[in-house]
Amino acid sequence: MIKNINVALIGNPNTGKTSVFNALTGLNQKVGNYPGITVEKKQGYCRLDRITKARILDLPGTYSLNASSMDESVVIELLLNKNDPDFPDVAVVVTDVENLKRNLLLFTQIKDLEIPTVLVINMSDQMSRKGIKIDIEKLKEKLNTEVVLISTRKNLGVELLKEVLVNYRQLSKAPILDTKTIDPAYFESLSRAFPNQSLYKLWLVITQDVNFTKLQRQKVPDTTAFRTQPKSYLKRLQQRETIRRYQVINQILKATYQVNREEATDLRTRLDNLLIHKFWGYVIFFMILLTIFQSIFDWSSVPMDFIDASFANLSDWTKAQMPAGILTDLITEGVIPGLGGIVIFIPQIAFLFLFISILEETGYMSRVVFLMDRGLRKFGLSGKSVLPLISGTACAIPAVMATRNIENWKERLITILVVPFTTCSARLPVYMILISLVIPDERIIGINYQGLSLMGLYLIGFLMAILSAAILNHILKSPNKSYFVVEMPNYKLPLLKNVAITVWEKTRSFVVEAGKIILAISILLWFMASFGPGKNFSEAESLMTEKFSQASLSEIELEQEIAAFRLENSYIGILGKSIEPLIKPLGYDWKIGIALISSFAAREVFVGTLATIYSVGSGAQETIKKRMARELKSDGTALFNLATGISLMLFYAFAMQCMSTLAIVKKETNSWKWPMIQLLSMSIIAYLAALIAYQLLK
């Protein structure tokens, strides 16, 4: 019979916790949210031995159990609530071999909760290069637990960790610090009041605001009487606790941990002097971005063209194999084009996440955060705002959630409101198809115009976010100032396994989450485009045949006229025609108008919508790019020309166009006021930018 256990991975940020998680779970992992809150919940599964299976929970990074953010409160809530289904049977505290002293503060706190706790010292392959020596056996004795040296890069220690987890019941639960030594009188009183309870757990319940979430702490005593102490007094006790813990940690490390600084290299200092230089740092960051966007276009063009052609051929083949009828039309004109609108952009999405993952793995992204802090301060943001703005290149939803780490409410609100201007991966499909249509595939001094255009759109979005933040900074008043502290992780070569798992998970998430929306909307649009009210739709064939009876049209040309007339008089055509006057000044026709409306569900739906609309009744299937290139205005000129293309790209650069983001903004601000202001202002900015661009370029 299989035995299941819960394992919690806990650690400071930048200790390699994610690498340990990936080493244990591989691709057998999933990401969601904790019930009722917007904190990411990452879990995976691992077979420890023949009869033991572990559910690994990767908890948010935290420096201690003194919570200052919602992320940290989640860790405390879980460790205090034995009735929670995620409550760990064993905790694994992941530490960095270079910062063991600081990391052990969190370890001692968790062990004092009387939870079986394992200490994992990561990056052990760097010990000799850093001049570090650790007496593991003596450290085990001093900490009264198992200590495992791990190198995820060289896959060392992972199997030993699995063995320790299997035998977790043998781990000592004895605390490291006698809590009463913090303040004997106070804690003696607390102990008498609750004689059968964990003294340190009671202390955390008293001092921490662990009511951020909806998790229930059943069977945890009511310590209200002890909470009535002055906050300043409890704060002093917290500080005294930290001092006492570091006194114990110093004694332990003095006997077990040695560092020969002369053996450590100075490469990190030299790299930092260059990468966070107040001039060259920005130049290097700009060149890295330019390289990324050039590569996205150059590397993805071949697989994209192959996927595009394959789905067009699949539609033709399916139509030839199946009998004529409504089911065949649904599959060949609704389902297959809808799926093609998802799959075609997998190469670009994968390459984008590949580069982002590499930058994070190397430790460079933390340098970018530090570098940008100087410039963002004057616009009402801080360096902590850079993390949401950068993560917004993947998706605005986790980016908005990432603002929880910003303590100052004004800075947090401004960041939430401007994050959607950052170009997310959902905009990438729209940009790619439009750039390939209206920007020539030519180069100047080796730089591709199309890659340059894509980079320009990313920069425009970021600059609009900064400009909007400056305006909001003047409107919103706050007397509080915030201070920015960021840890610079060590430079390291990217771990290929971590990069591969990140690319796989992010790309799969895009395909699954966006795919469900695109496919559902594609099928709905097909029905709306295939049916319509009145005589014009039902008798389209006879009306068009009569109209062109005197014209010398070929059979194919007549079929195209019938299909176009039927589409205009379908339900979707009627809806599109009704909004056409509003969008015509932007250079759009009613078909683009339908795509704009449907893409409010998700921006990437735009391409899938056009793929479906252009496929309905079109006979032989073409690639979406060719079909869009052939689309004409009423005056016979190409619809997707430079003016229309630039107008559309600017519209999507600035418009909200994402209901999910609005929902998460409402949740984070606890009000519909801010998301509605956000939606209205971004829509006005997008409309005006698109209008000006089209009128100037047409």
Please tell me the distance from the alpha carbon of residue 466 to that of residue 419, in angstroms, as a whole number. Answer: 10
Q: At 116, is the pLDDT very low, low, confident or very high (cuts 50, 70, 90)?
A: very high
Pairing mode of beta strands 447-448, 443-444: antiparallel
Highest mean pLDDT: which range of 34-38, 101-105, 474-478: 101-105
Encode pLDDT of 318-374 as tens digits. 888 888 777 887 788 777 877 776 677 688 778 877 887 888 788 887 788 778 777
pLDDT value, residue 571: 85
pLDDT value, residue 71: 67
* Overall average pLDDT of the 68-78 stretch: 75
Nearest to 111 by CA among 202, 175, 205: 175
Higher per-residue confidence, 604 vs 113: 113
Domain extent listing, the chain: 1-265, 280-475, 513-697
pLDDT value, residue 391: 67
pTM of the model as a whole: 0.63
> What is the dihedral angle through the alpha carbons of 82, 88, 91, 94, rounded to the nearest 10 degrees?
-120
pLDDT at 9 over 90: yes
Neighbours of 281 (CB within 10 A): 20
pLDDT value, residue 680: 92
Neighbours of 44 (CB within 10 A): 22
List of residues 6+ apart from 624 with CB closer than 8 A: 308, 337, 340, 341, 344, 433, 607, 610, 611, 614
Coil vs helix vs strand at 31: strand
Encode pLDDT of 239-262 as tens digits. 888 899 999 999 999 999 888 765
pLDDT value, residue 250: 93
Q: At 555, is the pLDDT very low, low, confident or very high (cuts 50, 70, 90)?
A: confident
Mean pLDDT of the chain: 80
pLDDT value, residue 13: 81
**Span of 10-24, 106-120, 597-611 with lowest mean pLDDT:** 597-611
List of residues 6+ apart from 661 with CB closer than 8 A: 396, 397, 400, 420
* Overall average pLDDT of the 662-684 stretch: 86
H/E stretch holding 43: strand 40-47
Encode pLDDT of 302-322 as tens digits. 887 788 788 878 888 888 888
CA distances from 254 to 66, 123, 153 (A): 26, 21, 28
| Eight-class DSSP state of 622 | -
pLDDT value, residue 518: 67
Higher per-residue confidence, 694 vs 215: 694
pLDDT value, residue 496: 83
Encode pLDDT of 472-528 as tens digits. 888 876 555 555 556 667 777 888 888 888 888 778 776 776 677 667 777 777 788
The fold of the 1-265 domain, in CATH, is Rossmann fold (3.40.50)
Encode pLDDT of 202-230 as tens digits. 888 887 754 433 334 444 455 555 555 66
pLDDT value, residue 217: 40
Please tell me the distance from the alpha carbon of residue 14 to that of residue 63, in angstroms, as a whole number. Answer: 11
Size (the chain), residues: 698
